[in-house]
Amino acid sequence: MVPQLLKDAYWNDMKTQMGYYFNNAHNFFLHQLLTIGIVGVVSYIALLIALIVKAIRKPDIADFHSS
């Protein structure tokens, strides 16, 4: 969806002013928002937060070097 939106809205500007065409948003979360929607981005952020919280609460799970 992002490549089509960029092509429809900015193709002539990119071609004439910059000389090249890019097909993704400048920000990962913005790109994901345009690709998978608000529900997907919120789910992805919730997953990241859950993993970070789990790693903080149980740091020994990620410790592969201890025997």
> Is the pLDDT reported for residue 50 higher than 90?
yes
> Is the pLDDT reported for residue 31 higher than 80?
no
The Cα 67–Cα 17 span in angstroms is 59
> Is the pLDDT reported for residue 12 higher than 80?
no
The Cα 61–Cα 55 span in angstroms is 8
Q: List b or e across 35-61, with b for residues whose CB sees 16 or more CB atoms inside 10 angstroms.
A: eeeeeebeeeeeeeeeeeeeeeeeeee
Would you kindly state where each structural domain of the chain is located, as residue ranges? 2-62
Q: Return the pLDDT at 43.
A: 92
Furthest C-alpha separation in the chain = 61
